[in-house]
Structure 1
Amino acid sequence: MDFGWHPAAQADFDRLRAETATWPDERPAALTRQQWRRCGDAGLLGYSVPADLGGTGHGFLDTARAMEAFGLGCADMGLVFASLAHLFACAMPIVEHGDERVRKRMVPLMASGEWVGANAITEQDAGSDVTALRATARADGDHYVLDGVKSFVSNAPEADVFVVYASTDPEFGHLGVTGFVVERDTPGLTVEPFAKAVLATCPVGEVRLAGCRVPAHHVLGVPGQGAAIFQSSMRWERTCLFAAYLGQAGRLLERCVAHARERRQFGRAIGTNQAVSHGIARLSGRLEAARLLLWQACWRLDMGERASGAVAAGKLAVSEVAVDTAAFAMRVLGGTGVRTDVGVSHELLDAMAATTFSGTSEMQLEQMAKEWGL
């Protein structure tokens, strides 16, 4: 088994880490189009998009490696999340399941950073449970008419295009869910932004659909395939997006090490205390284990395997070590850690979000248990 990286992947990792580390940290300002185009120019918004649609066509493993570099270099996890939610939960479903006319017109705009994409599946009473969607879509000639309300739609206030999931046959549960590509200027679509404490620079809002007429060729796949398409997009999100959290944890560990070497108390560096040094060592081991779990899941996906249990295990391990690393950094940095200008309290909040979105930790455990027939 070869754990090395081919030269092109390593070069991209080094480039993206170095480039994103130079970006100005503009928190708590909202997402700007300048930031977005910067991500597009770096190739981040189309990394897994095929070359003929404006991307660079990388697979799961190479994409995960590049997104780890993004999280390692960029201190704004809100921007990181916004970019990768755009790519994996909006662009990739269109790439893999969209009508050719839609793919050719929209995906290059998304890959370049000219357009912002958003995924709209969550509802107030239907988060992870796609069988409980209340948003509906009914056929009307060569169009569908969408009605309903979507909540917690990341990027919604800035989005130019939405992937929206609605029920076309409510009596069939998840087999009656259909995915649609809906443009921002569609009559009847409105967005109400709201603020949140985590990933603060990723804009979020409630999307209201009131008689939105969407062309039938904007259906993803075929009617009734929406739940499967959403789960397909989660393969990308639960692996390659969470690779960015490997980067965040690595960046925080590096900061803890530097602080432990420089900060002196009682006449010696605090890194000489086992409480600090062993904490760093333990987290570094857990981080490496999470990384290998995630890489294995990506490799298996690249081999064409379903790999549901491996994806769940990787997502769970990465999200939990991200939270524990950020919490440890808060303790080690002490008073510095809680400052709003140079502290890491926002990193802890951003890491905690990782145990909820893309399926809670409990959902990942359920998936892993199913692999054992439980």
Structure 2
Amino acid sequence: MNFDFDPETREMREMVVGFARRELNGGAGFRPGPGGGTDEAAADFRHRWQLAGKQGITGSCVPAAYGGSGLDAVTAAALMEALGQGCTDTGFAFSVGAHLFASLMPLVEFGTEEQKRRWLPALCSGERIAAHGITEPEAGSDALNLRTRAERREDGYVLNGGKCFTTNAPVADVFVVQAATAPGGGYFGLTAFIVEAGTPGLTVGPPYDKTGLHGSPMADVHFEDCHVPLDQVLGGEGAGASVFTSSMKWERTCLFAAYLGTMKRVLDGTLAYVGEREQFGVPIGSNQAVSHRIVDMTLRYESARLMLYKAARGLADGSDDEIAPPSPARGERGRLQLGLDAVQLHGALGILTGEAEALVRDAMPSRIFSGTNEIQKNNIARALGLGARRSRPRPRSRAAR
């Protein structure tokens, strides 16, 4: 087991951290309604997105033949960690992860050669932005029970329904959309579609006003008699659940690397602060209560890092380990607690706008997306053989026969 990056990966990480600090910070947050600055925020978001695309970040693990950098999961996670460390806008880094892991990688795995060559180059270069629509008001954890319908027509499909909490929706150029082609058909009842923004019948609502991840635009998406050609079906009819499962393997591992970078940035900033801030004539870091809290923060970061890169290595090697992928997603308690500790150590400054309070707000949604805490624990329990089993009828006694 070697936990050190090779020289090339270290160099790429340093490049991404420096680039993010120079070019990606200070973005305008998304707010709904008149005067919310949505147009300004969208323009700024797209400008930074194009810069990230030129650095190879928005297509890092897509094969080079389709415009990506061809990195494996470990190196892609390392770059996402560097992005989270250098970019103080965790929402922006989150959007990059959703675009890359939930939308592009399923296209890489399930797309036809024609689809890959048509869609991936512009999505990798930063010219276009992708969003993955699956969550619905009545189908969050129950992802197989979608109400969005896709009816087969001679020349394609017609979509009707709606999605919610769709990351990147207000700025997306391409949507990967899940819909039911065989309602009640279970795992094989869903189909994935590639839908371009601007397609008649597709509309996007205003961006949400969220507790955290302000730099990540999210909104509802509506479909009303939205026609999708046959050549924009992803993976074939009935393959939607497989497409979604693939996206979750990548998202639950590599997207959370951005949070790991944020944890490192906040930890380093807090460590510097307690070494400089003096009370009663000494740095507050010399107090045992403070130093122990810093140690706990360090252990949370290191534990999260070990879980994440173990999962990334398994993903890169094609491992069938069903426990590792949900594990980084379940490190949200460590992320949130590290943020709370940083707030406490900064005192009154911790509740003002800054890295510490931002981590607390940005870590809260991680308890929900990519599957809630409870769903992830169910996944791990099932992998351990603890899933629900049907009870067998007890044999009758001889006296009852």
Q: TM-score, normalised by structure 2?
A: 0.90
Distance in 2 of aligned mates of 1:10 and 1:94: 28
What residue identity is the alignment partner of 2:325?
A: V
Equivalent of 1:129, from 142, 145, 163?
A: 142
Partner of 2:379: 367
CA distance in 2, matches of 1:142, 1:308: 39
Distance in 1, Cα, partners of 2:186 & 2:3: 43
Corresponding residue of 2:151: 138
User: 1:13-69 CA deviation, whole Å, 9 max, x = no partner?
Assistant: 111111112233224363422111111112110001110111101111111111111
Take 1:162 and 1:95, find their aligned partners in 2: how far apart are those partners? 15
* Paired residues for 1:89-104 under 5 Å: 89-104=102-117
List aligned pairs for 1:47-58, cutoff 5 A: 47-58=60-71
Question: How many angstroms does 1:307 deviate by?
Answer: 2.2
2:339 is paired with a residue of what secondary structure? helix
8 Å CA contact 1:336–1:343 kept in 2: the answer is no
* CA-to-aligned-CA distance 1:129-165 (integer Å, 9 cap, x gap): 1122100001101301111010111111111000000
Q: Partners of 2:80 and 2:382 in 1: how far apart?
A: 29
2:87 to 66, 74, 94: 74
Counterpart CA distance in 1 for 2:188 and 2:69 is 33
Q: 2:358 aligns with which of 323, 339, 346?
A: 346
In structure 2, C-alpha distance between the alignment counterparts of 1:95 and 1:5, rounded to whole Å: 26
Q: 1:325 to 1:6 in 2, by over 3 A?
A: same
Q: 8 Å contact 1:182–1:214 — kept in the other structure?
A: yes
Q: Could you tell me which residue of structure 2 aligns to residue 282 of structure 1?
A: 296
The aligned runs of 1:107-256 (5 Å cut-off) are 107-193=120-206, 194-256=208-270
Instruction: Please state whether the residue corresponding to 1:309 is helix, strand or coil.
Output: coil
Q: CA deviation at 1:282?
A: 1.5
Measured after TM superposition, the shift of residue 346 of structure 1 is: 2.4
2: distance between equivalents of 1:201 and 1:35? 11
Q: Describe the SS at the equivalent of 1:28.
A: coil
| SS in structure 1 of the partner of residue 318 of structure 2 | coil
Q: For residue 26 of structure 2, what is the aligned residue in structure 1?
A: 25
Which letter does structure 2 place at the counterpart of 1:278? H
| Length, aligned pairs only | 372
- Are the counterparts in 1 of residues 67 and 125 from structure 2 also a CA contact under 8 Å? yes
1:265-303 CA-partner distances (Å, limit 9, x unpaired): 122111011221111111211211221111111111211
Q: Residue 12 in 1 paired to residue 12 in 2? A: yes
Q: Contact 1:249/1:321 (CA < 8 Å) preserved in 2? A: no
Tell me by how many angstroms 1:334 deviates.
1.5
Give the RMSD, CA atoms, in angstroms: 1.3
Amino acid paired to 2:378: E
Residue 328 of structure 1 pairs with residue 341 of structure 2: yes
Question: Which residue of 1 is the match for residue 58 of structure 2?
Answer: 45
Listed as ranges, the gaps of 5+ residues in structure 2 are 31-40, 387-401
Distance 1:363 1:274 in 2: 38
CA distance in 2, matches of 1:235, 1:47: 16
TM-score by length of 1: 0.96
Candidates 362, 366, 369, aligned match of 1:357: 369
Structure 1 residue 86, shift from structure 2 partner: 0.8
- Shift in Å, 1:343: 5.4
Whole-angstrom distance in 1 between the partners of 2:138 and 2:57: 33
- Tell me by how many angstroms 1:97 deviates: 0.9
2:49 aligned with 1:36: yes
**Aligned counterpart, 2:271:** 257
Distance 1:111 1:189, change over 3 A: same
Distance 2:319 2:355 in 1: 42
**In the aligned structure 1, how far is the partner of 2:373 from the partner of 2:234?**
28
Contact 2:160 2:225 in 1 (8 A): yes
- After the TM superposition, list the runs of 4 or more consecutive aligned residues in structure 1 that deviate by more than 4 angstroms: none
Q: Are the counterparts in 2 of residues 154 and 205 from structure 1 also a CA contact under 8 Å? A: yes
| Contact in 2 for aligned 1:98/1:218 (Cα 8 Å) | no
- Please give the alpha-carbon distance, in whole angstroms, between the structure 2 residues aligned to 1:368 and 1:206: 30
| Residue identity matched to 1:26 | G
Q: Give, as a single letter, the amino acid of the residue that structure 2 aligns with 1:136.
A: R
Distance 1:228 1:274 in 2: 51
CA contact (8 A) 1:48 1:55 kept: yes
The 2-side partners of 1:364 and 1:277 are apart by: 33
Q: Distance in 2 between matches of 1:261 and 1:2?
A: 32
Separation (CA, whole Å) in 1 of partners of 2:2 and 2:162:
48
Q: Deviation string for 1:187-243 (max 9, x for gaps)?
A: 100011232222111111111100111111211112111112111111111111101
| Residue equivalent to 2:3 | 3
Report how far residue 168 of structure 1 moved.
0.3
